[in-house]
């Protein structure tokens, strides 16, 4: 095991669902005072985390965009996918650890909460033995989505299930049928499969699609009325109807 070196701190900072005024006080302070800021993005895109903090960064900030080498180009079941991402994360770690070793603090911008299906987790597990690392929690995207829907997601003893749209269709059907309340993330190009799964589970009339929750272009529609193509920042909801006074 590599001995941890003294130096700067690497902060994984949760930015919340997308609105600057939904960030925590601690997140806001770290973002505004950071000399070094890192964030994930797809090549050729500004990155949603970076867009959230537009206008907040200090004038002399040094930015480190971490561009995914692959997103949907290779199936996750292909061994090349993990190999490619593992090498990518290692390169990111080398840069962040070098800054920390030089005594620099680094803020890694994280959409939602850093420990909830976020890429920062892959950095965190690798950094723990080589650099000081801290995490600031944030409001999750799904919390922003059910708030945007204008209805509680759970009541009383309701069981809430969180699914990824990337799951096999049969698994989606089974889990959608068996839960009281539902959140489905990572929908994207899996929308047609998800529609079929919701219909097969007999819950079409209960399903809502929330796009860009808590952002300027927020949109809430019934799944049956949603467009054929949905943006990356989309979440499907089925509200629980459980026990209440």
Contacts made by residues 40-47, CB under 8 angstroms, sequence distance 24+? 40/65, 40/66, 40/67, 40/68, 40/119, 41/65, 41/66, 41/67, 41/68, 42/67, 42/68, 42/71, 43/67, 43/68
* Percent above pLDDT 90 for the chain: 82
Nearest C-alpha neighbor of 124 from the set 101, 93, 103: 93
Ordered DSSP codes for 203-221 = -GGGEEEEESTTSTT-EEE
pLDDT band of 230, cuts 50, 70, 90:
confident
Burial classification of residue 175, based on how many CB atoms lie within 10 Å of its CB (0-12 exposed, 13-18 middle, 19 or more buried):
middle
Q: What residues have CB less than 8 Å from 109, skipping those under 6 apart?
A: 13, 15, 31, 37, 38, 39, 49, 50, 52, 53
pLDDT band of 209, cuts 50, 70, 90:
very high
Instruction: Please identify, in words, the CATH class of the domain defined by 10-139.
Output: alpha beta
Distance, CA of 161 to CA of 8 (rounded, Å):
38
Predicted pLDDT of residue 213: 94
Residue 3 has pLDDT above 70, yes or no: no
CB 113 within 8 A of CB 138: yes
* Mean per-residue pLDDT of the chain: 93
Question: CA Rg, the chain, in Å?
Answer: 19
Provide the CB-side half-sphere exposure for 64 (13 A, CA): 20
User: Thinking of the domain 142-238, which architecture would CATH place it in?
Assistant: 2-Layer Sandwich (3.30)
pTM: 0.90
pLDDT digits (tens, 9 = 90+) for 68-89: 997 665 666 676 778 888 999 9
pLDDT band of 117, cuts 50, 70, 90:
very high
pLDDT digits (tens, 9 = 90+) for 11-36: 999 999 999 999 999 999 999 999 99
In the chain, domain spans: 10-139, 142-238
Distance, CA of 58 to CA of 118 (rounded, Å):
25
């Amino acid at each position: 095991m590599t001995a941890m070196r003294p130096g700067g701190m690497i902060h994984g900072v949760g930015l919340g669902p997308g609105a600057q005024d939904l960030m925590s006080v601690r997140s806001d302070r770290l973002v505004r005072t950071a000399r070094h800021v890192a964030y994930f993005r797809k090549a050729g895109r500004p990155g949603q985390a970076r867009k959230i903090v537009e206008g907040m960064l200090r004038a002399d900030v040094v930015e480190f965009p971490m561009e995914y080498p692959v997103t949907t180009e290779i199936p996750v079941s292909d061994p090349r996918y993990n190999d490619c991402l593992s090498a990518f994360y290692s390169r990111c770690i080398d840069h962040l650890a070098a800054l920390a070793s030089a005594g620099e603090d680094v803020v890694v911008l994280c959409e939602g909460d850093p420990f909830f299906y976020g890429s920062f987790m892959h950095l965190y597990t690798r950094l723990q033995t080589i650099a000081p690392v801290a995490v600031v929690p944030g409001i999750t995207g799904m919390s922003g989505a059910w708030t945007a829907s204008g209805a509680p997601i759970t009541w009383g003893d309701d069981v809430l299930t969180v699914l990824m749209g990337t799951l096999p269709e049969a698994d989606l059907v089974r889990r959608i049928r068996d839960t009281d309340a539902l959140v489905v993330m990572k929908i994207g190009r899996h929308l047609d499969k998800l529609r079929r799964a919701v219909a097969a589970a007999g819950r079409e009339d209960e399903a809502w699609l929330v796009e860009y929750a808590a952002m300027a272009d927020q949109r809430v529609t019934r799944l049956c009325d949603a467009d054929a193509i949905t943006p990356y920042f989309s979440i499907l909801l089925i509200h629980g109807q459980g026990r209440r006074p």
